[in-house]
Chain A
Amino acid sequence: MPNMSPKKVPMPEQDPNVRNKNFLEVALGYTEEMAKEEAQRCLQCKHRPCVEGCPVNVQIPDFIKLVAEGRFEEAYEKITETNSLPAICGRVCPQETQCEKLCVRGKKGEPVGIGRLERFAADWYMANAKPKEVKIEKLNKKVAVIGSGPAGITCAGDLAKMGYDVTIFEAFHTPGGVLMYGIPEFRLPKELVQKEIDLVKRLGVEIKTNMVIGKVFTLDELFNEGYKAIFIASGAGLPSFLGIEGENLNGVYSANEFLTRINLMKAYKFPDNDTPVKVGKTVAVVGGGNVAMDAARSAKRLGADNVYVIYRRSEEEMPARLEEIHHAKEEGIIFKLLTNPVRIIGTEDGWVKGMECIEMELGEPDASGRKKPVPKPNSEHVIDVDTVIIAIGQTPNPLITSTTPGLTTQKWGGIIVNEETLATSKPGVFAGGDAVTGAATVILAMGAGKKAAKAIDQYIQSKN
């Protein structure tokens, strides 16, 4: 009999007032009993709407049935037929707008905790199972993947399974892309990302770190090295600034810099780790997406007394996940909504001491479909802050496109591709993930990686 409770089995979490002082994971995960109990809430419907909601079409009812039966290793294997990074997706996917949004149980009560169950199966496997030997018949054909974020890792894993010799070129010293430098430890433990990447490496994928493509190799040079096709998955790592006065004062960070120092360089362990990070008593984070939430919650953990999230629209329009907004509030982050910075004010020796803001009201919907924020006359006011973190978005880095003749891009830098095949304007070069779409989600990047792997296989086959 299914478990007809209208609510998800709750997941244990660290207490807000404890966790806002450490970088350990907030959500602690299900026990075996909890997972089985939650799995029994799945009705095993025939038409499986949840699967359609998943960008990589994980066979959700099948793996959940295996969890319910306590066959956890098989559940993991069922997931990884289509998803190579389940421990990550279970944690950071916006399930509420994907698989869980379409769950039948969500019509009366809460949907099945699909993300939580996926996470459970992956964690269980990593803790208890022994990875199986993989036998792959080699094609002796080389493919290059640029970037080791979710899109690159997924594409590389799929191509390796098909028998290709895949090399990933990564600019940083550690693979993982945004999973390593962007999303904080307290949402996504780095050790776990490493383990998940190691499982992909077992398929024979080679990862070369410290390789800035566009500098050390151009794309044409990669073709000359014998690569039959190239997948660009270099992400959207170029931070946008506000373009207001005072943005170069000491104490103003892009969210990318702030989070890279903390996550990749482990500045929260300074001076045991050498990279410093500076956070004052009062921090303003400008923006309303997941990156803004991550920056705000990190600043709190580094000891700031007050952390403000400054967002020019209202909470309803915030692009951040509901769960992250909720967690941020629980941890004491203060939201200043319908507020927009006008200038940053400095001390005589050039450190941030305040931010002048203006109140906003919502007008007619704009091109994005969201109500356009309009400044309220004479509502300027100064808030006292000593650190400002700018989290208003990123665009693709031009290092590759600017050194690759024949690769066309959008005005804002996104690489233009054929939507079906992800082929770029340059033959043999494919692109996907944030490098094409601008900053989006981990799972969409993975979906693009899967699509590209199929298209690359077809392209190389067709050349024979």
Chain B
Amino acid sequence: MFRIVRKQILNPSVKLMEVEAPLIAKKAEPGQFIILRVNNEGERIPLTIADYDREKGTVTIIFQIVGKTTEILGNLEEGDTILDFVGPLGVPSHLEGVKKAAVIGGGLGTAIAFPQAKKLHSLGTEVDAIAGFRNKDLIILEEELKSVSNRVFITTDDGSNGNKGFVTDVLKKLLEEGNKYDLVIAIGPLVMMKAVSNLTKQYNIKTIVSMNPIMIDGTGMCGGCRVTVGGKIKFACVDGPDFDGHEVDFDEAMRRQLMYKKEEQVSLDAHKCRLRGVDNA
């Protein structure tokens, strides 16, 4: 059992939890993730390690309420426990030896991009952070990003924060202005990572994306998370989740992500009916 020591609501659908997991905190590196299971009937879901405190022995996760499991998780409070919490999983990001980097987060992806920016910053890299959200109410981690970046650009799809556009618009402008990056890290929805990769390919800038396929065990024993990278099958849980954005088959990944769309809805509906006390049998 893993105790939640801090809970913070970042925006209406995104929550942060600091979880007591000393063994994982001791080993965690940016780019790695955990798998958790909330209760006995629960499924295993992967969540990126958004931060860790080796001395306190805690690991921070940030998640968006998108279905049954994240809803149940989001309703837990400080002092409550999570049944299973495994990690650190996946390969840490390679961030050494970078002079100047653009770290790009889309929506919740910003929470995953943050530890990367933080690590780069600590290694002396000049970091431009770009984060995109649908509207200004959904903006998260702006202050945190500022603390670890040289410049921060926050955009909104609807322009409600006064800076309308997609993250690719900002990146394109920075590149056109002559900014030279030796690394771009893009983390967010597949469609956004694909767009960033397409853009940076034209400039021939090394681009790392963090894949988020469906996972079950997270240890390489099932291949549910397989992605095609450079024409070869890779398991995101053990070979990734970071991959070269110019090599990833994004269209296939987008399609595979929809595999259980119907079931996810069935599960959420059944859960909501039970909450309302309606017999759904």
Give the interface of A toward B (CB within 8 A). 171-173, 209-212, 215-217, 237-239, 241, 247-248, 250-251, 253-254, 256-257, 260-261, 265-266, 270-276, 278, 349-350, 397-399
Q: Are A248 and B222 in contact (CB under 8 A)?
A: no
A278-B260 in contact given A210-B86, A270-B267 (Cβ < 8 Å): yes
Among the 9-residue stretches B40-48, B121-129, B193-201, B202-210, the one with 4 or more Cβ atoms under 8 Å from chain A is: B40-48
Report chain A residues within 8 Å CB of B252. Answer: 248, 350
Q: Is B88 an interface residue (CB 8 A)?
A: yes
Q: Are A397 and B219 in contact (CB under 8 A)?
A: yes
Q: Are A212 and B233 in contact (CB under 8 A)?
A: no
Which of B23, B219, B221, B258: most chain A Cβ within 10 A?
Answer: B221
Q: Is B27 an interface residue (CB 8 A)?
A: yes
Report chain B residues within 8 Å CB of A217. Answer: 23
CB-nearest residue of chain B to A266: B41
A261 partner, pick from B23, B216, B267, beta carbons under 8 A: B216
The total of chain B residues at the interface (CB under 8 A) is: 41
7 A-B residue contacts at CB 8 Å?
A: A209-B84, A217-B23, A239-B222, A253-B224, A265-B43, A273-B41, A350-B252
By DSSP majority rule, is chain A's interface helix, strand, loop, or mixed? Answer: loop
Once bound together, how far apart are the Cα atoms of A278 and B260, in whole Å?
Answer: 8
Q: Are B270 and A248 in contact (CB under 8 A)?
A: no
Report chain A residues within 8 Å CB of B266. Answer: 270-271, 276
Q: Are B263 and A276 in contact (CB under 8 A)?
A: yes
Q: Are B69 and A173 in contact (CB under 8 A)?
A: no
A171-B86 in contact given A216-B23, A274-B69, A399-B220 (Cβ < 8 Å): yes
The A-contacting residues of B in range 196-246, CB under 8 angstroms, are 216-217, 219-224, 226, 228, 233, 238
A248 partner, pick from B44, B85, B226, B258, beta carbons under 8 A: B226
Q: Are B221 and A397 in contact (CB under 8 A)?
A: yes
| Minimum C-beta distance from A215 to chain B (A) | 6
Report chain B residues within 8 Å CB of A247. Answer: 233
CB-nearest residue of chain A to B45: A274
A250-B256 in contact given A265-B44, A274-B43, A274-B69 (Cβ < 8 Å): yes
Q: Is B175 an interface residue (CB 8 A)?
A: no
Report chain A residues within 8 Å CB of B23. Answer: 211, 216-217
Report chain B residues within 8 Å CB of A237. Answer: 219-221
Q: Is B275 an interface residue (CB 8 A)?
A: no
CB-nearest residue of chain A to B263: A276
Once bound together, how far apart are the Cα atoms of A398 and B224, in whole Å?
Answer: 17
Which of A216, A238, A241, A256: most chain B Cβ within 10 A?
Answer: A216
Q: Are B41 and A274 in contact (CB under 8 A)?
A: yes
The A-contacting residues of B in range 44-60, CB under 8 angstroms, are 44
B88 partner, pick from A215, A248, A397, A399, beta carbons under 8 A: A215
| Minimum C-beta distance from A346 to chain B (A) | 9
- Shortest beta-carbon contacts, A-B, top 3: A276-B263, A257-B222, A237-B221
Once bound together, how far apart are the Cα atoms of A274 and B42, in whole Å?
Answer: 5
Q: Is B276 an interface residue (CB 8 A)?
A: no
Q: Are B228 and A248 in contact (CB under 8 A)?
A: yes
Q: Is B259 an interface residue (CB 8 A)?
A: yes
A278 partner, pick from B37, B43, B263, B267, beta carbons under 8 A: B263
| Minimum C-beta distance from A140 to chain B (A) | 24
Q: Are B223 and A257 in contact (CB under 8 A)?
A: yes
Give the interface of B toward A (CB within 8 A). 23-24, 27, 37, 41-44, 68-69, 83-89, 216-217, 219-224, 226, 228, 233, 238, 252, 255-256, 258-260, 263-264, 266-267, 270-271
Q: Are B87 and A216 in contact (CB under 8 A)?
A: yes
A256-B223 in contact given A216-B24, A265-B43, A265-B44 (Cβ < 8 Å): yes
Once bound together, how far apart are the Cα atoms of A210 and B34, in whole Å?
Answer: 10
Once bound together, how far apart are the Cα atoms of A247 and B232, in whole Å?
Answer: 11
| Minimum C-beta distance from B230 to chain A (A) | 14
Q: Are B255 and A212 in contact (CB under 8 A)?
A: no
Once bound together, how far apart are the Cα atoms of A408 and B169, in whole Å?
Answer: 51
Which of A237, A248, A256, A266: most chain B Cβ within 10 A?
Answer: A248
B256 partner, pick from A171, A248, A270, beta carbons under 8 A: A248
| Minimum C-beta distance from A15 to chain B (A) | 27
Once bound together, how far apart are the Cα atoms of A239 and B255, in whole Å?
Answer: 22
Once bound together, how far apart are the Cα atoms of A40 and B69, in whole Å?
Answer: 55
Q: Are A397 and B217 in contact (CB under 8 A)?
A: no
Q: Are B69 and A399 in contact (CB under 8 A)?
A: no
Q: Are B222 and A397 in contact (CB under 8 A)?
A: no
CB-nearest residue of chain A to B85: A210
Once bound together, how far apart are the Cα atoms of A236 and B8, in whole Å?
Answer: 41
| Minimum C-beta distance from A267 to chain B (A) | 9
A265-B255 in contact given A212-B87, A215-B89, A254-B222 (Cβ < 8 Å): no
Once bound together, how far apart are the Cα atoms of A280 and B43, in whole Å?
Answer: 22
A212 partner, pick from B44, B219, B264, beta carbons under 8 A: B219
Report chain B residues within 8 Å CB of A270. Answer: 263, 266-267
Once bound together, how far apart are the Cα atoms of A256 and B219, in whole Å?
Answer: 12
| Minimum C-beta distance from A82 to chain B (A) | 30
Report chain A residues within 8 Å CB of B84. Answer: 173, 209-210
Report chain A residues within 8 Å CB of B44. Answer: 173, 265, 275
Q: Are A216 and B27 in contact (CB under 8 A)?
A: yes
Report chain B residues within 8 Å CB of A399. Answer: 219-220, 238
Once bound together, how far apart are the Cα atoms of A172 and B89, in whole Å?
Answer: 13
Q: Are A171 and B88 in contact (CB under 8 A)?
A: no
Once bound together, how far apart are the Cα atoms of A276 and B263, in whole Å?
Answer: 6
Once bound together, how far apart are the Cα atoms of A247 and B249, in whole Å?
Answer: 14
Q: Are B259 and A212 in contact (CB under 8 A)?
A: no
CB-nearest residue of chain A to B228: A248
Report chain B residues within 8 Å CB of A272. Answer: 41
| Minimum C-beta distance from B21 to chain A (A) | 9
Q: Are A239 and B221 in contact (CB under 8 A)?
A: yes
CB-nearest residue of chain A to B40: A273
CB-nearest residue of chain A to B233: A241
Once bound together, how far apart are the Cα atoms of A349 and B83, in whole Å?
Answer: 37
Report chain A residues within 8 Å CB of B226. Answer: 248
Report chain A residues within 8 Å CB of B85. Answer: 210
Once bound together, how far apart are the Cα atoms of A241 and B267, in whole Å?
Answer: 30
Q: Are B43 and A238 in contact (CB under 8 A)?
A: no
| Minimum C-beta distance from B160 to chain A (A) | 34
Report chain B residues within 8 Å CB of A278. Answer: 259-260, 263
Report chain A residues within 8 Å CB of B89. Answer: 212, 215
